[in-house]
Chain A
């Protein structure tokens, strides 16, 4: 009579173990139950590992990003420029660098709203000050504390803005803007956002990976705004991401320049419908990061970099030149 065997994991090594007590159905059932539990746990570990080290983006070659000397700290590019023939700029941004931390903040004021520029500028200023405070206070983050803290800060920004507009007898709804915060700390990279735009980071394998999925409505260009935040809607409207890994580079942008530096529109595998793969372009971001690294090596001043970056966003490529939406793109590279 052949004896049944079963594959189980015994601490560090695999079986097979030959079940000697074949007559004892009870023992066999326990072993099988434990084996199933082990498989279940292993699949969870595998899923977590996949989350921490996502597979390489298919079809995109890696563009190796040059190292920046450690003493340079975080180096960066930042600019917001108005869209083609657009009279006012309704995007706003800030970039906070403090020690080993970098925080990128991008707000995109709704084009159709009267005070959206002021709303974007207010939210950027408020969050910028708050994140600087957090860093200086040495607050450490876990996925849970980041979620809690980011949502609280976003709601607070909205409520302060609401109080201010009410005091000024202005319509709060006219201050609508989106908001993206990317926080690269010593051993994590985190993102919180309301609305559209894109954000990403450079992983250890040299791929740029998305940190957020933009809110997109059924109608073109429809999204959600900071002015819609309420305690009850926080979980739904403030999306958060936390990656427990040290990154060399982060990027955040409004939706204006997204189709230049991101894969946002491709056909699905069946070639029947267009999908948004939400993949940062390794080639675009890698090349820009390397030009930033090269400029850093030549000690180019931040003012000169900002001017060059502003020029690039204004008309550095045909699509950027023709883009009617405002364009903000921040990129920070760790030394």
Chain B
């Protein structure tokens, strides 16, 4: 008896898309509680998006990049329903600069794909979460990275947001961030609260609100420990 089931990918009846590249620090210093909470936060985030009544599941495409001793594209941008997230593990050092550049590259490629297929899109986001400082051999690249981010933000190519977990060198995050979107410190290990804020903010942007208004509206002390560590 022939039993091979039929299979095919669903046609994409697109809502206007918003690509978010999560650029995550998986260096050794993120071991134990930090990585566990980050994994839990991402899983909760995906669950929330999938269940979102306002169609966020059809809007937000999430890509995941990790950086430690190497930079890895863990997941290409996908809708939450198609993203099979496997918990991240930690390893080695902090190639932050390369990681952020990979994030910028990822959203750039996704934008090109949107353009080539005639799909409208919201300005994508690159969100970097770290608890440290770049490896010493990457420090010299920070001014260049800062200029690249500035150019991208000014040219409305993407939003860049840096989130510092306890231990992060905030002065580095300040150096690479644009004044329109200053780095934020995560209060404790409240990744779930941060991702909840992120999904609400993107949902509001998708409804037509501008980013700064959406960020203000959703501002949440539960995760946002402000700027200074």
Nearest CB on A from B177, distance (A): 29
B143 on interface, CB distance cutoff 8 Å: no
The reply to whether A316 and B5 contact each other, CB–CB distance below 8 Å, is: yes
The reply to whether B14 and A319 contact each other, CB–CB distance below 8 Å, is: no
A295 on interface, CB distance cutoff 8 Å: yes
With contact pairs A259-B11, A271-B16 given, residues A309 and B6 touching in the complex (Cβ less than 8 Å): yes
Pick from B5, B12, B120: contact of A271, CB below 8 A. B120
Among A80-88, A221-229, A280-288, the stretch that binds chain B is A280-288
**Would you list which residues of chain B between 90 and 121 have a CB under 8 Å from chain A?**
116-120
List residues of chain B with CB within 8 A of the CB of A312: 5-7
- C-alpha gap A298/B117 in the complex (Å): 36
The interface size bin for chain B is 20 to 34
- C-alpha gap A152/B229 in the complex (Å): 80
Pick from A271, A281, A309, A316: contact of B11, CB below 8 A. A281
The reply to whether B118 and A260 contact each other, CB–CB distance below 8 Å, is: no
Interface centre among A260, A298, A301 (most CB of B within 10 A): A260
- C-alpha gap A284/B11 in the complex (Å): 7
A53 on interface, CB distance cutoff 8 Å: no
A318 on interface, CB distance cutoff 8 Å: yes
The reply to whether B5 and A59 contact each other, CB–CB distance below 8 Å, is: no
The reply to whether B118 and A58 contact each other, CB–CB distance below 8 Å, is: yes
**Would you list which residues of chain B between 1 and 33 have a CB under 8 Å from chain A?**
1-14, 16
The reply to whether B6 and A263 contact each other, CB–CB distance below 8 Å, is: no
A262 on interface, CB distance cutoff 8 Å: yes
List residues of chain B with CB within 8 A of the CB of A317: 8-10
The reply to whether A266 and B13 contact each other, CB–CB distance below 8 Å, is: yes
Pick from A264, A284, A318: contact of B8, CB below 8 A. A284
B81 on interface, CB distance cutoff 8 Å: yes
A311 on interface, CB distance cutoff 8 Å: yes
The reply to whether B6 and A316 contact each other, CB–CB distance below 8 Å, is: yes
- C-alpha gap A266/B8 in the complex (Å): 20
List residues of chain A with CB within 8 A of the CB of B13: 259, 263-266
Q: In this complex, what residue of B is CB-closest to A294?
A: B4
Nearest CB on B from A79, distance (A): 10
List residues of chain A with CB within 8 A of the CB of B5: 308, 311-312, 316
The reply to whether B9 and A284 contact each other, CB–CB distance below 8 Å, is: yes
- C-alpha gap A319/B9 in the complex (Å): 10
A267 on interface, CB distance cutoff 8 Å: yes
Q: In this complex, what residue of B is CB-closest to A295?
A: B2
A291 on interface, CB distance cutoff 8 Å: yes
- C-alpha gap A308/B2 in the complex (Å): 9
List residues of chain B with CB within 8 A of the CB of A304: 1-2
The reply to whether B14 and A298 contact each other, CB–CB distance below 8 Å, is: no
List residues of chain B with CB within 8 A of the CB of A265: 13-14
The reply to whether A283 and B116 contact each other, CB–CB distance below 8 Å, is: no
Pick from B6, B8, B16, B118: contact of A308, CB below 8 A. B6
Q: In this complex, what residue of B is CB-closest to A315?
A: B5
Nearest CB on A from B158, distance (A): 18
The reply to whether B2 and A287 contact each other, CB–CB distance below 8 Å, is: no
With contact pairs A59-B116, A308-B5, A308-B6 given, residues A261 and B11 touching in the complex (Cβ less than 8 Å): yes
List residues of chain B with CB within 8 A of the CB of A295: 2, 4
Q: In this complex, what residue of A is CB-closest to B57?
A: A318
With contact pairs A308-B5, A312-B6, A317-B8 given, residues A59 and B117 touching in the complex (Cβ less than 8 Å): yes
Q: In this complex, what residue of B is CB-closest to A259?
A: B13
Per-residue CB contact flags for chain A residues 190-228 toward chain B (1 = under 8 Å, else 0) read: 000000000000000000000000000000000000000
**Would you list which residues of chain A between 308 and 329 have a CB under 8 Å from chain B?**
308-309, 311-312, 316-320
- C-alpha gap A260/B10 in the complex (Å): 5
- C-alpha gap A115/B2 in the complex (Å): 37
A300 on interface, CB distance cutoff 8 Å: yes
A24 on interface, CB distance cutoff 8 Å: no
- C-alpha gap A108/B120 in the complex (Å): 33
List residues of chain B with CB within 8 A of the CB of A269: 118
List residues of chain B with CB within 8 A of the CB of A271: 16, 120
Please list 26 pairs of residues, one from A and one from B, whose beta carbons are closer than 8 Å in the complex, sorted by A's number: A59-B116, A59-B117, A77-B6, A259-B13, A260-B10, A261-B8, A261-B10, A263-B13, A265-B13, A267-B120, A283-B8, A284-B8, A288-B6, A288-B8, A291-B7, A291-B8, A295-B2, A300-B2, A304-B1, A308-B5, A309-B6, A311-B5, A311-B6, A312-B6, A312-B7, A316-B5
Hey, which bits of chain B sit against chain A, CB under 8 A? 1-14, 16, 81, 116-120
